[in-house]
Amino acid sequence: MGVTAGCKEFVRDLLSDFGPVTIRNMFGGAGIYADGVMFAILVDDTLYLKADDASARAFAAEGKKPFTYRPSGRAPVAISYWEVPERLLDDPEELATWAQEAHRIARATKSKSAG
């Protein structure tokens, strides 16, 4: 697992219609933050956005799956970050809309866990 510097720069530019982001290395990948809230991850140069049950259906309709990892000696675990459809990599304006929704979901999730 890993994320190249070129991929980080590409994603930062790609999300410019969304707004400024901070990309921080973590666990062999990277977290993508806006306003102190992580709403996306990069793993193996692949972009994933935070999703809830409703938005996950939109990702699934595009043939995408959630990010999964395999803890040592255990079954794979899926988390609520879904792979971005390839077409959005050519459409920064629409990607910004999806990123805004992911950021809203991440803020709501953070608020629930803080409360």
Amino acid found at 1 = M
Stretch (H or E) spanning 104: helix 92-114
Q: Which two tokens stand for residue 51?
A: 């999703």
Q: Provide the mean pLDDT of the chain.
A: 92
Query: How many folded domains does the chain comprise?
Result: 1
- Expressed as residue numbers, the domain containing 95 is 5-114
**Which segment of 43-57, 62-76, 95-109 scores lowest on mean pLDDT?**
62-76
- Residue range 14-65, pLDDT digits in tens: 999 999 999 999 888 999 999 999 999 999 999 999 999 999 999 999 999 9
**Rounded distance between C-alpha atoms, residue 27 and residue 54, angstroms:** 28
Report percent pLDDT > 70 for the chain: 95
Q: CATH number of the domain that 25 lies in?
A: 3.30.1460.30
Whole-angstrom Cα distance, residue 111 to residue 46?
A: 27
CA dihedral 54, 58, 60, 65 (to 10 degrees): -80
Higher per-residue pLDDT: 113 or 28: 28
